[in-house]
Amino acid sequence: GEFETLEQLKESLKKEGKEIYDVEMKESMREQLLEKLPEIVEIEISDRTLEILVNEAINRLKREGRYEQIVSSYESEEKFREELKERILDDIKRDRVIEVLAQEKGISVNDEELEKEAEELAPFWGISPDRAKSLVKARQDLREELRWAILKRKVLDLLLQEVEHHHHHH
């Protein structure tokens, strides 16, 4: 008896370990893919628009009292602005790719998926699944944020699948 249950425990831990590993793996592959997305898209955004976005980001950091600390880790304010500009541009490109691909591949997010996501996030938010679900129903900003997160994940997973298929064929 004792030995068997120990073996079973080991087995289930191994399985669980593999699942956790797979989830981590997938998450890290998504991250890597997300990093590369801006490289595949050419978008013209006017310098003026970028300036506005950079200023907005900087004002937000100042309001949150984080600006000084962040800038101090750069050679100069100019350098920080440059980097911020790059990052904002990359983010815009990334979001654009996700949007376009979602449209092309007919990927969308339904209410069921939103609810499921809310339930899964509930423990992280420190609330009950039911509370999480009603929050998502009540707050549009939260609903949009979740919808976008799920959409992004679906698009990335589809891309990862396509990449895997290419590897198998060649």
Topology of domain 108-170, CATH: Trigger factor, domain 2 (1.10.3120)
Tens digit of each residue's pLDDT (9 = 90 or more) over 131-152 = 999 999 999 999 999 999 999 9
Tens digit of each residue's pLDDT (9 = 90 or more) over 42-101 = 778 888 999 999 999 999 999 999 999 999 999 999 999 999 999 999 989 889 889 999
Backbone region of residue 84 per phi and psi (left: phi > 0; alpha: psi in -120 to 50; beta: other values): alpha
What are the residue ranges spanned by the domains of the chain? 42-104, 108-170
- The Cα–Cα gap between 154 and 152 comes to 5
Architecture of the domain delimited by 42-104: Orthogonal Bundle (1.10)
* Amino acid in position 5: T
Tens digit of each residue's pLDDT (9 = 90 or more) over 98-113 = 999 999 999 999 999 9
Q: Which residues contact 53 (CB under 8 A, 6 or more apart)?
A: 88
Q: How many CB atoms lie within 10 A of CB 55?
A: 12
